[in-house]
Amino acid sequence: MRYVRYPGTDKMVSSVGFGGLRFDKSKSNEENAKLVIYAYEKGINYFDTAPGYVDDRSEDIMGIAIRELHARGKNDFYISTKGKPMVYDTKQKAIQAVKRSIERLGVNKIDFYNVWGLKNLAQYNACMSEGGQYEGLLECQELGLIDHIVFSSHQPGDEVLRVLDEGKFQGVTMGINILNYHYRWDGIQYAYDKGYGVVAMNPLSGGTIPSHEKELSFLAKDKETPTQAALRFNINSKEITVSLIGFNNIEEIDMACKIAEENKVFTKEDRDELLEHFSCVTNEMCTGCSYCKVCPKDINVPAYMLMYNEKQMFGKSDEQMQDIVYGLEYWNYTANTVGRAKDCIECKACEIQCTQSLPIISRLKEIAKWEAQKEDVYQKL
C-alpha cells in the first residue's frame, strides 16, 4: 500500500480508503465487518462511514470491525464519519451526533468528522450560524472527541473554493471520478495547492463504468480495463489524498491495493486527452448515492435515475430506453418497491436530497412515458 500524509496533520493515510456506503445488504453485519478487517490487513487504514449508510448499518459494521482490531491490539487506522448540517442544526444536536457515532464505532474519538453533503452556500451558512453545527463540532474538538473537522461537498468547483477560503476546515470529501473530474478539478487543484486534504468518493460513477466497459474502452490503456483505469485515475492522482472505494469482496480490495502499489499516474496530458471524449452531459449523471430514496410513494428513484444514465451518457434512443426500463435489470432494481415512475406526486423530496441537483421529477415523467409505451406494445401482441 502507498501512504501519504494527510495535509495539515501528522497522519499517514492509505491512498485507498474503504467507503462504507456500499456494503452488501444481504450479508450480516458480522460478515461485512470481515471485509473491513481484510482491507486493514491489506494496508488500508482510512475507513469512511456515516449514520444512515446501508439502511443505517454502516457505522455498526465498522464498529464490529474496529472492536475486533482493538482486541488484536491494533489502532493504527483512521475513522471518518459525518453529520448533516440541516439535521444537526444546533450546537447540542451536533455534539450528541458525534457522541452517538463514537459509541457505535467503538472509538474514543473521530479522526475526521465531515460536515456532510454541502450542496450550496446556504447550507454552509446554516452550519456556520451562531449556535449551529460548527460550534458543536468545535466544542467536540476541544473535548478531544474529534481530531479534524472537514466537509463533504456536492458543490460546483467555484463554491468549494469559497468554502475553503473561509479557513474553517482541514479538508474536503468530493465525488470525483474519471467521467466528471473536469467539472470539479478546479476545486481539487485549489485544495491541493492550498494544503487541504482531498478525499475522493464515487470513483466508478455509481457503477456506470463497470456496466459500460465497452462504450468506455477509450478510458483504458495497455491491458487494463476501463474499471481499472478509473480506479487508477483516482488512486494515483497526487492531488487526491485518499480515494474511497465501496468494496463488496476481497478481489476488489486486492485490485485497488495493487493499483496503489504500482502508482501509475494519469498525467495532465492524459487528462487533456480524455476531455476529447467527454460531452457536457457527464455532470448530469446519477452517481448512485441513493440519497434520493425518500419517496413517499415507494418509488425506487435511485434505480430509475441510474437507468436514465443510459440516455444521458450513451445517447440511447427512446425505443432503446423503453426496453431498458422494462427489462430484467429494471425489475431486479425495483423488486422490493411498490411505486412506479407514473406514481410520482411531485413532492420534490427526492430532488431536495439529490447531491447532483438533478431534475428527477421531469426524468420520472419521461420514464413513465417509456413504460406506458412499452406496456401498449405488449398489450397489442
Range from 56-60, 184-188, 322-326 carrying the lowest mean pLDDT: 322-326
Mean pLDDT taken over the chain: 87
- Name the residue among 88, 109, 105 with its Cα closest to residue 97: 88
Query: Stretch 38-66: mean pLDDT, rounded?
Result: 96
- CATH fold of 282-380: Fumarate Reductase Iron-sulfur Protein; Chain B, domain 2 (1.10.1060)
- The pLDDT of residue 50 is above 80: yes
Dump pLDDT digits (tens) for 322-374.
776 655 444 444 556 678 889 999 999 999 988 778 999 999 999 888 888 76
- CATH fold of 3-275: TIM Barrel (3.20.20)
- Name the residue among 287, 289, 304, 309 with its Cα closest to residue 215: 309
Amino acid at 246: G
Please report the sign of the dihedral spanned by the C-alpha atoms of residue 147, residue 62, residue 44, residue 42: positive
Instruction: Write down the pTM of the prediction.
Output: 0.79
Q: Where are the domains of the chain?
A: 3-275, 282-380
Could you identify the residue written with the cell 470539479?
184
pLDDT at 330 (0 to 100): 47
pLDDT at 181 (0 to 100): 76
How far is residue 347's CA from residue 121's CA, in Å, rounded to a whole number?
Answer: 23
**Helix (H) or strand (E) run with residue 192 in it:** helix 181-193
Could you identify the residue written with the cell 429494471?
330
Dump pLDDT digits (tens) for 238-275.
999 999 999 999 999 999 999 999 998 887 777 777 77
Dump pLDDT digits (tens) for 83-109.
999 999 999 999 999 999 999 999 999
pLDDT at 211 (0 to 100): 80
Dump pLDDT digits (tens) for 289-310.
778 889 999 888 888 887 888 7
pLDDT at 83 (0 to 100): 95
pLDDT at 238 (0 to 100): 92
How far is residue 315's CA from residue 365's CA, in Å, rounded to a whole number?
Answer: 18
